[in-house]
Structure 1
Amino acid sequence: MSEPSGVIHDIGYQRYTGPRLGRRHVFGALYLHGLRTAFGFGRSAKAKIFPWLVVGILVVVAAGVTAVRAQAGVVIMTYAQFPDVMSWLVIFFVAVVAPELVSRDLHSGVLPLYFSRPLPRGDYVLAKLAALFTALWLLLGAPQLLMFLGAAFSRDDGMKGVAEELGDVLPGMLYAGLWAVVFGAIGLLIASLTGKRAFAAGGIVAVFLMTTPIVGTLSIMPSQTVNELALLASPPTLVQGVGVWTLGDLLVPPGTEDTVRIGDFGPLYAVVLVAVVAGAVALLLARYRKVATS
């Protein structure tokens, strides 16, 4: 019997002996990657143009409001009003960023890699949601911080004035968080339905903007109850309705109450908002359970 002629060559492969970081670190890495993606970090210069253009516009507006207040003593926009006024820009930001976070993964077919251990399917969804929520909150909150710093340093009553400004800006930051949660949940859900980013962006803009005329129609109906419930018909105005109920004069200054009317339906607005966000997250989780097994 002849001896085996095969030879085993040592080409330097070694077993991995480093730490196995596990699920929590994978989630954190996916979240951080999503947050960086939202602002174009780690991507081409072209991918940075739109998100930073939006950031620039918001900062310029905040700086202008701050300058007018410091020089003329006129408050042309409160902290809480800033997200309302800038909501149209946020809609387009979501329409661009949400498809980058999820539609690209669907199109490229990398989800089986993500859903292999140790990352559960739900963690993928929650990491993407958290990244988009954070990006939107920073987008609306950072300009408010700039407005706060300008107002605080321009007041003549020392720490008392700073404390008053702090009492005004904190509700505004929380209100920005409310916008971030609603826009992020709905936007990511729509983007998850297709791997084509253009279709996803168009769907997001349509849902947020094309429902606005419905609000306008309902608000001029002869029934006062219908008028007060009109803001429920569109996601942006739904958030505004909750803001009117919770923030009061910080959002709707005295003398302008007739511009936004919700009557005694404030609690209903809050319940509908929670239901919308919870429903969007539940549908996202269901969507990715289906994608993972397809």
Structure 2
Amino acid sequence: MSETGVIHDIGYQRYSGVRLGRLALQNSLFVHGLRAAFGLGRSAKAKIFPWLVFGIMLLTAVILAAIRSQTGQEFITYAGFADSMSFLIIFFVAIVAPQLVSRDLRAGTLPLYFSRPLRAADYVFAKFAAMAAAIWLLLGVPQFIMFLGAAFTTKKGAEGVFDELGGLVPAWGYSLLWALTFAGIGLLIASFTGKQAFAAGGIVAVFLMSTPIVGVLASLPSTTANGLAGLASPMTLIGGIGYWVSGGSNGFDLPIGRFGPIYAIEAVCLIAVTMLLLLARYRKVASL
């Protein structure tokens, strides 16, 4: 009795579908990063802290809107809300930034990413955009709630709504400045270690340890030193810009004097430098 057999061709076939390219890869990384920032698609434990911070901010906005609807007084402006929540933003960045980049270093997934037509710059821009978008939403959504509360209770009709909108839109731009600055610093620090606890501690240390320097410089008997003191900390740097642009109605109460443009220039340079350092960091990783 003869034996017969069948040869099955189970070899890999060449992909014949549509190749979406680098833009689709960047968009996928951005969406995944933004979801990861709020723990979406992950365990319940990963959702606790980001949603706790978001919940506190939303509750604060609701309370402010309710107080304004009852008293007619604006205790905190839209832009001032970002200044008031600065410490919560720091801790949000300290948790989220390591989630976005440190986990990739620890899991060793970067070689897999860069084996595709994904460049180091694509990875950096996608992660930076996701981090900045998460911070902006953290501020922008509560600000919008404050706007709704003021718009629906205004006694000036359409004119009052447009007045409130004129305060909200610049505040969203101010929140974007907070987001870009904090995203760059947080991701840069987190990109140097695969251990999330070390990354989180480093981020908090950089932000909080720079604050006493501002106090020391502000106490010196020199008008120039007092005016430039806010440049020593990211929080007071952005707050100084808000104080300068708004003429003293927003931002931290810093005696910045005539140095407002210097604050703006440093903020732009800080964002650019963190981006360049991130690019240099991941180009080095991609070449390994």
The runs of at least 4 aligned residues of structure 1 exceeding 6 Å deviation read: none
> RMSD of aligned C-alpha atoms?
1.6
Query: Does 1:181 pair with 2:180?
Result: yes
> Normalized against structure 1, the TM-score is what?
0.93
Deviation at 1:17, TM superposition (A): 2.7
Q: Provide the rounded CA distance (Å) in 1 between the counterparts of 2:12 and 2:276.
A: 44
User: 1:40-189 residue pairs with structure 2 within 5 A?
Assistant: 40-189=39-188
Deviation for aligned residue 1:250: 4.2
Match of 2:208 in 1: 209
Deviation at 1:293, TM superposition (A): 1.8
* Contact preservation (8 Å) 1:168, 1:250: no
Aligned to 2:195: 196
Q: Deviations for 1:64-87, whole angstroms, at most 9, x for unmatched residues?
A: 111111111221100010000001
Report what 2:230 is aligned to.
231
Gaps of 5+ in 2: none
Say whether residues 1:280 and 2:274 are aligned partners.
yes
Deviation at 1:9, TM superposition (A): 1.5
**Which one-letter code corresponds to 1:289 in the other structure?**
R
SS in 2 for 1:81: helix
Give me the whole-angstrom Cα distance separating, in 1, the residues matched to 2:65 and 2:243.
Answer: 23
What letter corresponds to residue 276 of structure 2 in structure 1?
A: A
In 1, distance between residues paired with 2:188 and 2:24? 25
Q: 2:34 corresponds to which residue?
A: 35
CA distance in 2, matches of 1:197, 1:11: 42
Comparing 12-21 with 34-43, which one deviates more in the overlay? 12-21
> 1:28 and 1:71 mapped to 2: Cα distance?
44
1:169-219 per-residue CA deviation (whole Å, 9 max, x = no partner) reads 111111000000000000000000111110000000001111101111111
Deviations 1:87-139 (A, max 9, x none): 10000000000000000000111101111121111100110000001000000
Secondary structure, aligned partner of 1:271: helix
Whole-angstrom distance in 1 between the partners of 2:129 and 2:135? 10
Q: Does 1:289 align with 2:288?
A: no
| 1:165 alignment partner AA | E
Q: 2:88 corresponds to which letter in structure 1?
A: L
TM-score by length of 2: 0.95
Query: Could you say which residue in structure 1 is the equivalent of 2:219?
Result: 220
Distance 1:48 1:117 in 2: 30
Offset of 1:8 from its aligned partner? 3.3
Within the alignment, does 1:271 sit opposite 2:271 as a pair?
Answer: no
Distance across 2 between alignment mates of 1:11 and 1:291: 36
Could you tell me how far 1:16 is from its partner in structure 2? Answer: 3.0
Conserved in 2, the CA contact under 8 Å of 1:191 and 1:200? Answer: yes
Q: Percent identity at matched positions?
A: 61
Q: Distance in 2 between matches of 1:185 and 1:102?
A: 12
